[in-house]
Amino acid sequence: MNFASDNWAGACEPVLEAMIAAARPAAVPAYGQDPLTARVEARLCEIFEREVAVILVTTGTAANALSVAALAPPWGAVVAHEEGHLAIDECGAPEFFAGTRTLRWPGVRGKLAADDVARRLAASPQGTHHGRLSVLSLTQPNEFGLVYTPAETAALAQAARAHGLAVHMDGARFGNALAHLGCTPAEATWRAGVDLLSFGGTKGGCPMAEAIVAFDPARRETLTYLRKRAGQLVSKHRFVAAQFDAWLAGDLWLDLAARANARAARLAAGFAASDRARLAWQPQANEVFAFLPVTTAAALQTAGAHFYDWSTAALAGDDLPRDGEALHRFVTSFATTDADVDALLAALAATPTA
């Protein structure tokens, strides 16, 4: 019963088949000069309804760190939520590749609020002694499975731009956010003021494929050099491109994301109906958060369920666990089935009452 992470899931068959097909030509230009890479960039221009520059890498950490490096000088500072992936889960990679420092700001349930960001930006000192505020980074969906609407993103971007900051969006689960929002990729990104998107394919069904999407194509050269210096320019680049080519075809990426979201909704309904768990809030993507008694969580893990304990640092009031409880995260993926969800709920029902 795997609900630890969508990183644990395998890869979807069309993507794997595309990688095999990419191996058949006897010789193909290396380092991204192949037809597949050109086709992926053209497809992403269509998806985002404008000309974009696309830099393919193999990890989300690389996508995030190189995005920051492209947007901020070494003496710059990046604003992120205190529980955001960029702030706590990248092992200092943005600081390493960009030379920047990360400012960790609070927000309810992991979401930054535009009025609070505007107030903090206005009060933050800048100059040679402090560095320059350079980037606002938003995680979409955030670390609590919640999604920024286009209006929320636009308000945050407006606050950032008023103080000279660019906007980066960490979209490791961008497809899941879109499947919930029902808006277009353009509406969720550049039309709302986003400059660079880390567009994740790995969690959505690819073996290892991430894209930096620059909504200003003039950033291409900078990103190209940054990628090479970071060791992320894959020589047989067509195998990264092949993943995106198949994953984007026919909107497969959105179909897979909707599938994962639907399984999350099924799991959330089961938690809400159970007397052995307490649903923290309704999921907006493919991550479900629930409060479980400590003994119940241990019994589930003994039964073979995999899930993570989760921080409550960004929570308050009714969002906090009660005595004897802890907050846990359960993640569904494109590969999660109804049977998988029902097996977990059956295991939950079989645990002793607290």
Q: Which of 197, 205, 302, 140 is nearest to 9 (CA)?
A: 205
Listed in order, strand segments (DSSP E) in the chain are 53-57, 76-81, 101-105, 132-139, 166-171, 196-200, 210-214, 278-279, 287-293, 308-309, 325-331
Quote the pTM value: 0.95
For residue 141, cis peptide bond before it (omega within 30 degrees of 0): yes
The helix, strand and coil proportions of the chain, stated in percent and rounded to the nearest 5, come to 45, 20, 35
Decide: helix, strand or coil at residue 58.
Answer: coil
Mean per-residue pLDDT over the chain, rounded: 95
Q: Angle CA(224)–CA(19)–CA(52) in degrees, nearest 5?
A: 35
Confidence tier at 144 by pLDDT (50, 70, 90) = very high
Q: Which of 53, 102, 4, 61 is nearest to 200 (CA)?
A: 61
Q: Residues 8-28: what's their mean pLDDT?
A: 94
Contact by Cβ (8 Å): 179, 171 = no
Q: Which of 87, 81, 139, 86 is nearest to 107 (CA)?
A: 81
pLDDT in tens, 46-60: 999 999 999 999 999
Tokens of 87: 């702030």
DSSP labels for 143-172? Answer: TTS----HHHHHHHHHHHHTTT-EEEEEET
Q: At residue 353, does pLDDT exceed 80? A: no
Contact by Cβ (8 Å): 79, 103 = yes
Strands 210-214 and 53-57: antiparallel
Decide: helix, strand or coil at residue 102.
Answer: strand
Q: At residue 323, does pLDDT exceed 70? A: yes
Is 12 exposed, middle or buried, given 0-12, 13-18 or 19+ CB atoms closer than 10 A?
buried
DSSP labels for 236-270? Answer: TTHHHHHHHHHHHGGGHHHHHHHHHHHHHHHHHHH
Is 343 exposed, middle or buried, given 0-12, 13-18 or 19+ CB atoms closer than 10 A?
middle
Confidence tier at 354 by pLDDT (50, 70, 90) = low
pLDDT in tens, 36-45: 999 999 999 9
pLDDT in tens, 234-279: 999 999 999 999 999 999 999 999 999 999 999 999 999 999 999 9
Q: At residue 229, does pLDDT exceed 80? A: yes
Q: How far apart are CA 348 and CA 110, in angstroms?
A: 27
Which pLDDT does position 126 carry in this prediction?
84
Looking at the chain, the number of H-run helices and the number of E-run strands are 14, 11
Q: How far apart are CA 199 and CA 196, in angstroms?
A: 9
Q: How far apart are CA 248 and CA 250, in angstroms?
A: 6
Which pLDDT does position 26 carry in this prediction?
77
Q: At residue 299, does pLDDT exceed 70? A: yes
Q: At residue 206, does pLDDT exceed 90? A: yes
Q: How far apart are CA 245 and CA 233, in angstroms?
A: 18
Q: At residue 173, does pLDDT exceed 90? A: yes
Residue type, 265: A
Decide: helix, strand or coil at residue 271.
Answer: helix
pLDDT in tens, 302-322: 999 999 999 998 898 889 999
Tokens 């290396």 locate to 30
Torsion 161-187-212-258 (CA) sign? positive
> Which structural domains are found in the chain, ordered by start?
12-250 (3.40.640.10), 253-350 (3.90.1150.10)
Strands 132-139 and 76-81: parallel
